[in-house]
Amino acid sequence: MNAAFDQIAEYAATAPTSRSTLRRDQSSHLAARTLRKLGRTIREWGYASPLYAHRLKGRHPMQLLGSPDDPAPGNATLGSAIFGGDMLFEGEQHALGEDFWIRLENASPEFQTYAHSFHWLQDLAQVNDQTKARDAAETILSWWLPFGEDWFKDVWAAETVARRIINWFTHAPLILSSSDMVYRSKVLTSVAKQSRHLSRVLGDTDEGLPRVYTAAALTLAGLLLPSSDTLLAKGARALERTLSTFILADGGPVSRNTSDAIRTMQLLVLVRDAYTTRGEDLPGWVQITLDKIGPFVRAMRHGDGNFAQFGGTSAEGGHGSNAVLAASEAKGKPIENAAHSGFQRVEAGRSVLIMDAGAPPPTAYSRKAHAGTAAFEFSTGLERLIVNVGHASKRGPIPALAELARTTAAHSTLIIADRNSSRLLEGGRMGPGVSETLTIREKTDESTRIRHTHNGYLKRFGVKHERTLDLSADGTRLKGSDKLFGPKIKKLEGKEMLLRFHLHPNVSALKASDGRITLETRAGKTWIFDVDGGEAEIEESLYLSRPDHPVPSRQIVVRLAREGNEQPALSWVLSEMSF
């Protein structure tokens, strides 16, 4: 199977010419979402009834049938903080104690979700003193049991329940090593009760990764709880159905977020290992899906192992991607022409070019999406030169960055009148803008060329943006051109048109008297940026390798000139100097 995927990837990369058109589903599905929300509200009224607890009664499991190993590593520092009496998450800190779960009502919604999902067990699993870790985990869980025994809206939200069940299963040695049989019985009864509830609310999550979580959790419950074949059948069907729509033919997720792909791999590894532990036949679609995702994840990485910052993925946001990839046993080579998810990758010499050549994800999947169509990143060896700003956290040192980092201006692409190529709506979803893209990829002995066109500015300014990127076969010369064309080009009158090339913080930039810009890397490599048809300047920027860690950087900003009714166009080149 891996050999077949390698052959497909190799053909896609070496085919002389390929052409792909992608169209975005911009349907809001408002009526369906409203009805689903109304139905959920009515059901929640029933869940809050004292009678609902009786409907969740069933067999009391005496033990778990297995505990799969979580391939994604936690954070030992955060785990050690728990020993010190504090739980930390994204800069927020809360003291631990018997009333911790009651006091948590004053915490942020994000912290509450983190705590109630028991994701912190992953951090405790990384500390050296596992005896102390087990004591801490069992103590905190014993405080939670009376608090979380009955249904409560936020604590028992479908995705939170799913994540909690998964963490309890994968870190069972931390929470079920006690010799206190009463405590153990309470934990096992609770996980069975929550699993039965999850079976009822399986569809009460947003499309995409949240549904992968709920279906995976129910599948694990069916495999690891005794006499739970009904849960297994329902969970496996739901997981297969969810993955068939969420993971595209090239292995990329519909959300176009690489982190979602890695999380999906992590969950499938847990499911696969649970099947193996039980001695059950593994459904073929599990490993097939892993084999599809692996080449996509590798395609979105630079030579230093960090990720291209597109669609809400941070450079260092791989969630233990090396460990997850190794555990997945997916051996496929990086796919270069990800025509379904809309990404292009070119490897030449020591250089890697990765381009966002697709439309934004459908509205329902766009909460983390960025308006970065036609943006690219470029690296050579272990050093990145051209980047995008990255993904920012609302709880970081500059909260406003969470929204600003999603804008077109935060990406290495063209922007008109400081307007995003796709609109960012209140509530986080992405609205109208880019609805269609055309990408033509051509490979010759001398270079690989990508010609990309999108219509993000067509309705507002009457033009389309065409960008061509041409990387030489030895990787030392990247030529580009950008132009605007369309039936109503007069709408550009008086509008500022800028090209932005955000630089990695490790790259220094200096403008020469002839207008060319010299880029110097820490390894001592020198690259020259030259432009024809515009004026280039060096300006300040920010870079986020992690959502909560902005650092100063620089950017090259090129202003497009326009005379009369001429189409604004320019060409530029980035060349490595040899000495």
Mean pLDDT of the chain: 90
Task: Tell me whether strands 464-472 and 477-485 are parallel, antiparallel or unpaired.
Answer: antiparallel
Distance CA 484, CA 457 (A): 9
For 72-304, give the CATH class: mainly alpha
Least confidently predicted of 105-109, 179-183, 254-258: 105-109
| Residue 173: Cβ within 10 Å count | 13
Q: Inform me whether the pLDDT recorded for 319 exceeds 90.
A: no
What integer pLDDT is reported at residue 119 of this predicted model?
A: 95
What integer pLDDT is reported at residue 291 of this predicted model?
A: 96
Contact 138, 178 (CB under 8 A): yes
What integer pLDDT is reported at residue 15 of this predicted model?
A: 55
pTM above 0.85, yes or no: yes
pLDDT tens digits, one per residue of 386-437: 999 999 888 778 888 889 999 999 999 999 999 999 999 887 888 999 999 9
pLDDT tens digits, one per residue of 51-83: 777 677 878 888 999 999 999 888 899 999 999
What is the C-alpha R_g of the chain? 25
Contact 479, 470 (CB under 8 A): yes
Q: Inform me whether the pLDDT recorded for 276 exceeds 80.
A: yes
More confident residue, 273 or 563: 273
Distance CA 467, CA 408 (A): 15
What integer pLDDT is reported at residue 5 of this predicted model?
A: 42
Distance CA 334, CA 107 (A): 42
pLDDT band, residue 443 (cuts 50/70/90): very high
More confident residue, 407 or 22: 407
Distance CA 324, CA 302 (A): 17
Distances (CA, A) of 315 to 7, 49, 310, 470, 575: 28, 46, 9, 24, 24
What integer pLDDT is reported at residue 28 of this predicted model?
A: 61
Report the CATH fold assignment for 343-576: Beta-galactosidase; Chain A, domain 5 (2.70.98)
Q: Inform me whether the pLDDT recorded for 317 exceeds 80.
A: no
pLDDT band, residue 91 (cuts 50/70/90): confident
State the average pLDDT over residues 137-152. Answer: 90
Least confidently predicted of 201-205, 261-265, 347-351, 527-531: 201-205
What integer pLDDT is reported at residue 427 of this predicted model?
A: 77
- Which residues neighbour 464 within 8 Å (Cβ) at sequence distance 6 or greater? 453, 454, 455, 457, 458, 484, 485, 486
What integer pLDDT is reported at residue 3 of this predicted model?
A: 53
More confident residue, 319 or 299: 299
What integer pLDDT is reported at residue 35 of this predicted model?
A: 74
pLDDT tens digits, one per residue of 489-513: 888 888 999 999 999 999 999 999 8
State the average pLDDT over residues 216-240. Answer: 96
Contact 131, 84 (CB under 8 A): no
Q: Inform me whether the pLDDT recorded for 13 exceeds 70.
A: no
What integer pLDDT is reported at residue 262 of this predicted model?
A: 95
Q: Inform me whether the pLDDT recorded for 193 exceeds 80.
A: yes
**Identity of residue 351:** S
Residue of 340, 190, 359, 197 lying closest to 261 (CA atoms) = 340
What integer pLDDT is reported at residue 9 of this predicted model?
A: 45
Least confidently predicted of 85-89, 266-270, 349-353: 85-89
pLDDT band, residue 8 (cuts 50/70/90): very low
Q: Which two tokens stand for residue 398?
A: 């500059």
The 3-state secondary structure of 499-515, one letter per residue: EEEEECCCCEEEECCCC
Q: Which helix H or strand E contains 343, and what residues bound it?
A: strand 343-348
How much of the chain exceeds pLDDT 70, in percent? 94
pLDDT band, residue 206 (cuts 50/70/90): confident
- For residue 80, is it left (φ>0), alpha (ψ between -120 and 50) or beta? alpha
Q: Which residue has the tokens 């998964």?
A: 166
Q: Inform me whether the pLDDT recorded for 34 exceeds 80.
A: no
Domain boundaries, the chain: 72-304, 343-576
Q: Inform me whether the pLDDT recorded for 11 exceeds 50.
A: no
Distance CA 247, CA 221 (A): 23
Residue of 283, 193, 204 lying closest to 236 (CA atoms) = 283
What integer pLDDT is reported at residue 393 of this predicted model?
A: 85
Residue 63, classed as helix, strand or coil, is coil
